[in-house]
Amino acid sequence: MKAKNDVLTGQKILIGLFSFLLVATLVIVAGVEMKKSISEAPEIEITAESKQCISCHDQKGIAPGVVEQWKMSKHAVQGIGCLECHSAQKDDWDAFTCPESDVLVARHPTPKDCAECHEQQVQEFAESKHAHQFWVLKNADRAIFEMPIATRHGCEQCHNIGNIWPDKSVGECDACHTKHSFSKAVARQPETCGECHMGPDHPHIEIYTESKHGNIFKAKGKDWDMNYSTADNQNIPIEAPVCTTCHMDGNETQPMTHNVSARLAWESQAPWSYRTVWNEEKLGSWEKKRERMEAICKSCHAPDFVEMYMLTADLVNLQYNEIRRFFVKWTKRLTEDGVIDRIQADGKFLSNPVLNGWDEEPEKLMYYAWHHEGRRFRSGALMMGADFTQWHGIWEMQEDMIELMKFAAEAGYKEAQVWVDTNDPTKFVPYAIYDVPGNAWGINTRANLTPYLYKKFPNYWEEVRKNVKAAFERGLLSEKQWRYWEKRYQNKEYYLGTKFNTDDVFDIYSKRNDIDLEAMRKQVVEFEPPAKMFYMPKGKRISGWKFNRSRTNGRH
Amino acid sequence: MRVKEWLLERFPIDYQKFVEINEKIFIKEPIPYHMKKWFYAMGATPLIIFAFQVLTGILLTFYYIPSPEMAYESVRHITEDVRFGFLIRGIHRWGSNLMVIALFLHMVRVIFTRAYRPPRELNWIIGVLLLLTTLTFAFTGYSLIYNQLSYWATTVGTNFFKAVPLVGNTVLNFLRGGENVNPNTLTRFFTIHIGLLPPVMTFLIFLHILVLRLHGVAEIEGHEGEGHYPFYPSHFYKVIIATLFLVTVMSALSVVFPPGIGEPATPDQTPIHIKPEWYFYPVYRILKLLPLSVGIYSLVAGLIILTFWPFIDELFKQKMPKVKMNYVFGTLFVGVILILTVWEAMVF
Amino acid sequence: MTEKDKRPTSRREFFANLFMGGGVFVAAITFLRDVWMYLYPDLGRRRYTKYMVAKTRDIPLGKARRLLVGRVPLYVVHLEDGFRVYSGICTHLGCLVKWEEAKNRFYCPCHKGIFAPDGTVIGGPPPRPLDEYKVTIENDLVFITIEQRQGRWS
């Protein structure tokens, strides 16, 4: 009986224990419940008028997508509804009365409306070259070549980013901050810049995609939150830069800016590469602008790398100028001698003198060597687009140069004929040369043993130094860059890698190369398929089929 | 004792007799000695859980709205807005899961101890009916959430009826209240879930216990006559402990794994992976594995074997008295269900 | 176990009974409390809604502006010490007050209630100042926070 009682007592205690365990659990449950009710954040809504717009647009199906996009915007969260941007006064240029109510609505919110809240950004944008309608200023008359209807959905669609509105505000914010979600992430997406910065004349998106930066973004970017703010000197939160990271976003040292010109040191899209003077009074000299860009680079890159990379790109720009000088010299000469004519009307030359026209071979060649190939050459060098610097750049410019000289030779210029006829390889560099010992990526001990100019001219570097020095003295390179160049020049055997002997390693590869060449020779070059060819130019019979003699005769 | 006398006057029953009956039926219900072990004493768990399902189910109907427009929203409201809504829904959801597990364990125990042996075969059949009712409960209940997964589980689940010969289409149309899953389906399932099934279940439970009591709890084969002890207090306490334990577990699970709500149902878009709740995995696996009609036939065959197993077992007993056929059957039962469940869980 | 069977309980058993009874009681009460809270409508939980009502530069010092939020008329007033937002409903009998810029006051036409720009009563029958909303200013935008008890479910 005692034992049985003990069991019962044990069970009672167990019941008690489980009861309190249950109570404890329920207390935790209550805790969860409490937390749930405390963390009630304010919900943000919009004014009654905006609500009216939204419900009507939804119901009538008038661009209801606009409302959906807006709902996802930060504006919606902040309680910024429709009329905050779309309100209009009676005589506003874009005012219309909503047909379903008596509300005056602005059809086109302009940067002026955005500036109500985003004043700094609008201001910065208006001071940037994005806002500059240079295409209207300089080349309006080329609309004779691409007639106006083509420019409507052509030129204008992109260049409207610098729209001057009837209310005198400048710019088109939604070119990047796509309405109506106005998402930062969309604005930062490289493809947004690439809507315009693409194609044969300025393949910036293609260059970016080719670059290491673009590659990392492609691989990992989908996991990045691109909605971050860089307003207050934060670290760059993404692993590789997108376009805006370098050209607009801030970092630890640089403030964020909507002035895309603030960090650009070259007018590398122009017919001649020249140092930027855009809005100098506010943005400072090109060196100041370059400093800003380098400050961004240095978030991730070592100072030495940045210095060398930029110097190399700068020298590419200077080199471009010299190549262009050659094109201009010959085109001018041909024009002056009346071999080719410029387009003109009413006693005025149509179009800018540097453009010259497009209807004759030398003009066309010069145009492409600037507007397409020359830009690719320079942009590729500035933004890590190796293939654009090389094959889509310098290679095609050089080919154009050959064509130009052939044209001049055919036109009877003796000098050109000499150029065409000579076998001297230096004929391909009939212009001043820039160079720098080595590259930013490391020391390549073999690459600098081969170039013809290095081998042929022992004073090569001394001559090049004269050009670089002159460029520095002309203000095209900074003093810091000049000193950096000098440092490399003084130690050029080191930077060129020629002081290191790696012949034994190289020999392995050159032997392999011999094997390769041998294989190619044996497999293909010396191979001749046995069957007779069907093509018989002399009209012989083959396998019962006869050539039509009269026709072949006619051809001859 | 004024109150008692006052009451007895107005409710004239033979009090003495009432006390006697009460003592006989409940307090002194003879419990076989082996039930002292927890292992044998868990047959009441499904009942306990069912009681909580009834309680929480009633509580849920206070807020649930069985209409296609509001079903999901009201479930969301219960889960997110209503105070302790997530607890009530959590207990109901975890209760449904635990009930299936408890039933399964109970059945396995019964198979292995051959508690269904004559003359208790009918109670086994009632038990199988209880299992089917529980699964119907679970299926209809899941569909009421009306989120993307439950909506499509319902669509797919009901579709299987099509393959049932002769009556399949009729049953399907009846269940859905139309040819496709439509607003009627939801209200039908709701009515079945809260109106039809609870009394059926209660009646079956009553029958189950009645038959059990009439026969007395089956003793373990070979250990008959080890004696009995009264229900109260020892076994009663066991039930209380089990109850407390289960509520604690269900509450804790509701906090650690709160009931989700998922995406609202969109009838024009099938999600990529549709799966029923895990307890339908074996059935789902078989139906995916075999051609639909073959699958259905084999399920029906399996069900028939399961239902009439006590008789089959007895036949075996007569032919081969030495072989413990129930062990074979029990192992097969557990094995097949576990393998199919795990299999289905692992594939998409 | 009827009364007669009961032996005097030992101290140990008494505590065991107490522990069990107390435990079950507390557990039952806790559980039932949760059930009650589940069933009883939640009147206390407040929802706050934030509205943008004005841009700071739109309202010069000393001026007021009327607007509607939902159906409630509001006045945004720019005082020396910042922005204030008042309900446009008179505290007397619920007529709508008017801002009279010339007289620099709110005026209720029903019973000639007069409120100062800071909302205080300076004349007429209103028993208390105009109701005021909590104001927050972010980036030159004036927001008010309104408590909302009405949701879809209550």
**C16 has a chain B CB within 8 A of its CB:** no
3-state DSSP call for residue A504? helix
Q: Measuring CA to CA, which residue among A44, A53, A45, A48 is closest to residue A82?
A: A53
If pLDDT is split at 50, 70 and 90, which confidence band does C153 have?
low
Least confident of A495-504, B331-340, C112-121: C112-121
A13–chain C Cβ distance below 8 A for any pair = yes
What's the confidence (pLDDT) of residue A429? 95
pLDDT at A354 over 60: no
C19, C38, C40, C43, best to mutate vs chain B, most B CBs in 10 Å: C38
Rounded mean pLDDT, B149-161: 85
In this predicted model, which residue has the larger pLDDT, A58 or A355?
A58
State both tokens at C86.
Answer: 């008042």
The region, left, alpha or beta by phi > 0 then psi within -120 to 50, assigned to residue C41 is: beta
Strand partners, A85: none
pLDDT score, position A37: 60
Statement: residue B136 has pLDDT above 90: yes
Indicate the DSSP class of residue C96.
B
- Please state the three-class secondary structure of A213-228 as a single string: HHHHHHHHHHHCCCCC
Mean residue pLDDT across chain A? 88
The pLDDT of residue A544 is above 60: no
Residue of A nearest to C46 (CA): A40
Structural domain boundaries of chain A? Answer: 302-431, 441-526
The answer to whether B175 touches B185, Cβ cutoff 8 Å, is yes
The dihedral through the CA atoms of B206, B212, B217, B218 has a sign that is negative
Q: Which residues pair with B230 in a beta bridge?
A: B30
State residue C154's pLDDT score: 44
The C-alpha atoms of residue A440 and residue A305 are separated, in whole angstroms, by 6
CA B189 to chain CA centroid, Å, is 17
Contacts of C37 in chain B (CB under 8 A): 83-84
A/C interface, count of CB pairs below 8 Å: 92
Whether residues C37 and B83 touch (CB distance < 8 A) is answered with yes
Predicted local distance difference test score (pLDDT) of residue B95:
95
User: Residue B92 has what pLDDT?
Assistant: 95
B93 vs C95, more confident: B93
Q: Does residue B111 fall inside a structural domain?
A: yes
Question: Nearest C-alpha of chain B: how many angstroms from A40?
Answer: 11
**HSE-CB of B143 using CA atoms within 13 angstroms:** 31
Q: What single DSSP character describes residue A425?
A: G
Asked whether residue B343 is assigned to any structural domain, the reply reads: no
ipTM: 0.82
Residue B52 has pLDDT above 80, yes or no: yes
pLDDT at C6: 53
Q: For tokens 């044996």, name the residue.
A: A522
Over its C-alpha atoms, chain B yields an Rg (Å, rounded) of 23
> Helices B121-144 and B183-191 sit at what angle, rounded to 10 degrees?
140
Tokens of B63: 């807020």
Whether B315 maps to a domain, the answer reads: no
Domain containing residue B58: 35-216+229-273
Q: Is residue B111 a contact partner of residue B329, using CB atoms and an 8 Å limit?
A: yes
| Closest Cα in chain C, distance from residue B228 (Å) | 17
Whether the upstream peptide bond of residue A180 has omega within 30° of 0, thus cis, is yes
**Three-state secondary structure call for residue A87:** strand
Contact A137, A159 (CB under 8 A): no
pLDDT digit string, tens, across residues A445-486:
999 998 999 999 999 999 999 999 999 999 999 999 999 999
pLDDT at A550: 45
CB-nearest to A18 from B84, B244, B254 is B244
Distance CA A12, CA B88 (A): 28
Q: Strand C82-87 vs strand C72-79: parallel, antiparallel, or unpaired?
A: antiparallel
- Where do the H-state alpha helices sit in chain B? 2-10, 15-22, 45-61, 71-76, 85-113, 121-144, 148-159, 168-176, 183-191, 197-215, 236-256, 281-289, 292-307, 309-319, 325-346
For C1-20, the DSSP string reads --GGGPPPPPHHHHHHHHHH
Between A555 and B4, the more confident residue is: B4
CB of A305 within 8 A of CB of A318? no
- Is the Cβ–Cβ distance between B281 and B344 less than 8 Å? yes
pLDDT on residue B341: 92
Q: Does B246 score more than 90 pLDDT?
A: yes
Q: So what's the pLDDT on residue B305?
A: 94
Question: How confident is the model at residue A539, as a pLDDT?
Answer: 59
The minimal CB distance from A18 to the residues B84, B86, B245 is found for: B245
Residue A188 has pLDDT above 70, yes or no: yes
Q: Please return the burial class of A229, using the count of CB atoms within 10 Å of its CB with bins 0-12, 13-18 and 19+.
A: exposed
In a domain, B262, yes or no: yes
Q: Is A307 helix (H, G, I), strand (E, B) or coil?
A: helix
CA distance C68 to chain A (A): 6
Least confident segment among A89-93, A526-530, B91-95, B158-162: B158-162
- Residues of chain B neighbouring C16 (CB-CB closer than 8 A): none
Mean pLDDT of A49-69: 84
Give the residue, C73 or A351, on which the prediction is more confident.
Answer: C73
Q: pLDDT digits over A362-378, tens only?
A: 989 999 999 999 999 99
Residues B95 and B47 sit within 8 Å (Cβ to Cβ) = no
Mean pLDDT, rounded, for C2-7:
50
pLDDT at A266: 97
Give yes or no for residue A386 having a pLDDT over 90.
yes
Which DSSP letter does residue A164 get? B
Calculate how close chain B gets to A11, using CA atoms only, in Å: 6
Torsion of CA B223, B225, B226, B227, to 10 degrees: 150
Confidence of residue A352 (pLDDT cuts 50, 70, 90): low
The rounded distance, in Å, linking the Cα atoms of A161 and A174 is 9
Report helix, strand or coil for C119: coil
- Point out the least confidently predicted range of A202-216, A323-337, A394-408, C6-20: C6-20
Residue B183's pLDDT is: 83
Check whether A217 has a pLDDT greater than 70: yes
Distance separating alpha carbons of residues A56 and C62, to the nearest angstrom: 36
Which tokens go with A297? Answer: 């680079």
pLDDT at C39 over 60: yes
Residue C9 has pLDDT above 80, yes or no: no
Name which residue leads in pLDDT, A354 or A413: A413
How confident is the model at residue A169, as a pLDDT? Answer: 93
Residue A254: partners with Cβ closer than 8 Å, 6 or more residues away: A233, A292, A295, A296
Only one residue has tokens 């250990």, namely B223
- Across A259-288, average pLDDT: 95
A250 pLDDT tier (thresholds 50, 70, 90): very high
Give the model's pLDDT for residue C104. 83
CATH number at residue B122: 1.20.810.10
Mean pLDDT check: name the lowest of A225-234, A347-356, B339-348, C61-70: A347-356
Q: Is the distance from CB of C69 to CB of C113 less than 8 angstroms?
A: no
Max Cα–Cα distance, chain A, nearest Å: 133
Q: Which residues of C touch A18 (CB under 8 A)?
A: 23
Distance between CA atoms of B157 and B141, rounded to whole angstroms? 13
pLDDT band at A509 (very low <50, low <70, confident <90, very high): very high
Question: A262 versus B159: which is more confidently predicted?
Answer: A262
Residues of C in contact with A48 (CB under 8 A): 68-71
Task: Give the range with max mean pLDDT: A316-325, C5-14, C88-97.
Answer: A316-325
Among A356-370, B332-346, C1-15, C114-128, name the one with the lowest average pLDDT.
Answer: C1-15
Cβ neighbours of A461 (radius 10 Å): 16
Render pLDDT for B266-315 as a digit per residue (tens, 0 to 9).
Answer: 777 777 677 888 888 898 888 888 888 888 889 899 999 999 999 999 99
* Phi and psi at residue A134, to the nearest 5°: -60, -30
A546 or B151: which carries more pLDDT confidence?
A: B151
Select the residue of C16, C27, C47 nearest A40 (Cβ to Cβ).
Answer: C47
Q: Which amino acid is at B156?
A: V
pLDDT at C45: 59
Is the alpha carbon torsion for B175, B178, B180, B185 positive or negative?
A: negative
Task: Enter the CATH code of domain C47-148.
Answer: 2.102.10.10
pLDDT of residue C1: 43
Q: Are strands A95-97 and A43-45 parallel, antiparallel or unpaired?
A: unpaired
The reply to whether B135 falls in a domain is yes
CB contact under 8 A, C49 and A43: yes
The position carrying tokens 């709160």 is B258
Backbone angles phi, psi at A58, to 5 degrees: -65, -50
Q: Report the distance separating Cα A485 and Cα A479, nearest Å.
A: 10
Question: What is the percentage of chain A residues whose pLDDT exceeds 70?
Answer: 92
| Other Cβ atoms within 10 Å of A292 Cβ, number | 19
